[in-house]
C-alpha cells in the first residue's frame, strides 16, 4: 500500500511539473544528435555499415564503387566524398585570402594575400584519385602578400603532390622576400605541425588523403551555426565578383550559402557524423589521432571538424561557412568561404576568409610563366583582388566555436580547463570574445 501511495505521489508530482512548464511557456530542449541505434528507417536506408568492402582494381586502398558513389554509403565513402572539399578548392581560381589570429589576451594579428590556383589535372577529387600518378604535382598555388604593408610583394609558391603509401612528399614550398631579392626553397613542414602562432596545421590547409584513415559512422546531428559573429559586428562587406563590395548582414550568412536547397525549416543543416582514426602504418607518429567530422547529408561537405590526440584530449575545433562558388560543378562547386579554428590548449583563434573567389581558366602561357619560383622575382601582381573583411577591433573578432558538450559522449570525451570554461561562459553571456583578465576581475 505504501509503495502504491508513493507511486501516486510521484505521478502527481510529474504532472504538476508538466503543468508548471506549460503555464510558464518553458519547454525542454530536444537533442539534435542521435546515435546509430536512434536513426530512423529512412536514414538507415542511406547507410551501409559494412567495414570491409570491395577494393578498386588499380588502387587497393580505394573503394571499388564508382565515384561519386551512391546510397547506401559506407563511412569510408563519406570520408572520400568529404575530401572533395578541402580548404583550397580543387579547381583553377583566384581569390584574396584574409586571415588572422587572436590570442587569449586579445592581441590580434592579420594579413591578406592574393592567391592564384592552377590545377595539373581536371577539377575535382576524382581526377586527383584516378588520373594522377602518385608522386606527381597536383596543383600550384601562388600567393602574393598585400597586407600588412610591410609584407607587400612577399610571395609563396606551394606545389602539392599526389601521395600514397610509397610517395610521402606532400609539397614543395618556395618563398620570396623583396628585401633579399631571392627565392628560397623551404623544407616541407610537418603535416601535423601548426603554423607559427596559429591554430591550424599544414594539413588543415593542404588537405588530408582519406585512405590515410580508418572510417566509422557515429550518428546524425543538426548544425545550426558554424562561424559565429559577435554582437558588435552586425554587417560585413564582401567582394562579390560582378557586384563589387556588398554590405551583408552577418545574420544572413548561412552555413552552406544562399543556394543550398536542403536547409531544415528552422535553418539547420542535417549532418552525418563520422570518425576518422589515423592509420599508423601510413602516418606513423601523427599527432592528430582522431578526427570527427560533421558532414552535410547531401553533398558531404565538412562543416565542422574536431581533432583529438592519442590520449583522447580535444585539441582543436574547426568550423566553416561554405558557399557555391563554381556553379558549373554543381554539388562539387561548394568552397570554403569562412573558416574559424580554435586551438584549445592556448585558447588561440585563427580565421580565414576567401573573398572575391572567381573560377579561372589559365592559358598555357600563363600557367607556364606564373606558377614558377622564377616568376616571383618580378614582384608582379597579375591581377589585384581586394577585400574589406579585415577586423578593425578585437571586440569584433569571431566567437569561439560551440563545444556541443554532451553530444556523442562515447566518442567525444573532453574536460575543459576551469579558466577557459569561465572565459567561454563569459563570451556566451556577452555575445563577444572575453579575454584574459588579472586581479580581482579574474577571481
Retrieve residue 47's grid coordinates. 547507410
Q: Measuring CA to CA, how many Å separate 9 from each of 12, 17, 22, 433? A: 5, 12, 20, 47
CA-wise closest residue to 350 among 395, 323, 322, 319: 319
User: For 153, left (φ over 0), alpha (ψ -120 to 50), or beta?
Assistant: left
Checking if the pLDDT of 180 tops 60, the result is yes
Mean pLDDT value across the chain: 91
Residue matched to cell numbers 576524382: 126
Alpha-carbon dihedral of residues 65, 68, 73, 79, nearest 10 degrees?
Answer: 110
* DSSP designation for 153: T
Rounded CA-CA distance 290/6 in Å is: 48
**Closest residue by Cα to residue 348 from 321, 387, 318:** 318
**Overall average pLDDT of the 424-436 stretch:** 95
Predicted pLDDT at 437: 62
Q: Determine the average pLDDT of the residues in 215-234.
A: 97
Q: What's the pTM value of the predicted model, to 2 decimals?
A: 0.91
Mean pLDDT of the region 380-404: 96
Across 142-154, average pLDDT: 97
Nearest-angstrom CA–CA distance, 137 and 119: 9
Provide the pLDDT confidence category of residue 31 given band limits of 50, 70 and 90.
Answer: confident
Give the Cα separation of 441 and 427 in Å (integer): 15
Closest by Cα among 135, 125, 117 to 80: 125
Domain with residues 34-441, CATH architecture: Clam (2.50)
The H or E element that residue 419 is part of is: helix 418-430
Amino acid at each position: 500500500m505504501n509503495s502504491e501511495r508513493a507511486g501516486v505521489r510521484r505521478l502527481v508530482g510529474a504532472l504538476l511539473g508538466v503543468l508548471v512548464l506549460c503555464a510558464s511557456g518553458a519547454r525542454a530542449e530536444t537533442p539534435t544528435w542521435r546515435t546509430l541505434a536512434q536513426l530512423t528507417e529512412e536514414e538507415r536506408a542511406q547507410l551501409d555499415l559494412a567495414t570491409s568492402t570491395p577494393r578498386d582494381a588499380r588502387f587497393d586502398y580505394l573503394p571499388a564503387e564508382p565515384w561519386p558513389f551512391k546510397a547506401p554509403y559506407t563511412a569510408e565513402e563519406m570520408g572520400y566524398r568529404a575530401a572533395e572539399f578541402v580548404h583550397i578548392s580543387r579547381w583553377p581560381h583566384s581569390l584574396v585570402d584574409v586571415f588572422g589570429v587572436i590570442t587569449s589576451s586579445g592581441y590580434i594579428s592579420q594579413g591578406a594575400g592574393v592567391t592564384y590556383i592552377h590545377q595539373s589535372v581536371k577539377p575535382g577529387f576524382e581526377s586527383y584519385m584516378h588520373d594522377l600518378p602518385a608522386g606527381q604535382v597536383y596543383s600550384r598555388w601562388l600567393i602574393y602578400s598585400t597586407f600588412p604593408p610591410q609584407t607587400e610583394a612577399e610571395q609563396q609558391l606551394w606545389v602539392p603532390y599526389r601521395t600514397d603509401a610509397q610517395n610521402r612528399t606532400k609539397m614543395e614550398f618556395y618563398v620570396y622576400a623583396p628585401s633579399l631579392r631571392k627565392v628560397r626553397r623551404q623544407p616541407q613542414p610537418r603535416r601535423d605541425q601548426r603554423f607559427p602562432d596559429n591554430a591550424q596545421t599544414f594539413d588543415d590547409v593542404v588537405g588530408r588523403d582519406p585512405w590515410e584513415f580508418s572510417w566509422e559512422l557515429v550518428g546524425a546531428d543538426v548544425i545550426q551555426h558554424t562561424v559565429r559573429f559577435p554582437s558588435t559586428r552586425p554587417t560585413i562587406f564582401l567582394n562579390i565578383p560582378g557586384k563589387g563590395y556588398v554590405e551583408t548582414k552577418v545574420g544572413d550568412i548561412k552555413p552552406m550559402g544562399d543556394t543550398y536547397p536542403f536547409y531544415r525549416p528552422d535553418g539547420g543543416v542535417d549532418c552525418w557524423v563520422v570518425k576518422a582514426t589515423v592509420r599508423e602504418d601510413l602516418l606513423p607518429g601523427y599527432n592528430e589521432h582522431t578526427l570527427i567530422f560533421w558532414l552535410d547529408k547531401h553533398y558531404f561537405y565538412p562543416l565542422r571538424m574536431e581533432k583529438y590526440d592519442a590520449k583522447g584530449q580535444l585539441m582543436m575545433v574547426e568550423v566553416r561557412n561554405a558557399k557555391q562558388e563554381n556553379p558549373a560543378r554543381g554539388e562539387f562547386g561548394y568552397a570554403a568561404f569562412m573558416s574559424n579554428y580554435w586551438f584549445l590548449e592556448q585558447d588561440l583563434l585563427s580565421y580565414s576568409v576567401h573573398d572575391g573567389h572567381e573560377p579561372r581558366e589559365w592559358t598555357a602561357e600563363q600557367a607556364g610563366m606564373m606558377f614558377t619560383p622564377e616568376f616571383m622575382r618580378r614582384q608582379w601582381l597579375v591581377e589585384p583582388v581586394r577585400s574589406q573583411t579585415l577586423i578593425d577591433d578585437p571586440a569584433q573578432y569571431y566567437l569561439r566555436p560551440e563545444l556541443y558538450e554532451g553530444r556523442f559522449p562515447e566518442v567525444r570525451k573532453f574536460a575543459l580547463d576551469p579558466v577557459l570554461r569561465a572565459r567561454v561562459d563569459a563570451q556566451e553571456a556577452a555575445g563577444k570574445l572575453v579575454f584574459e583578465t588579472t586581479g580581482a576581475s579574474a577571481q
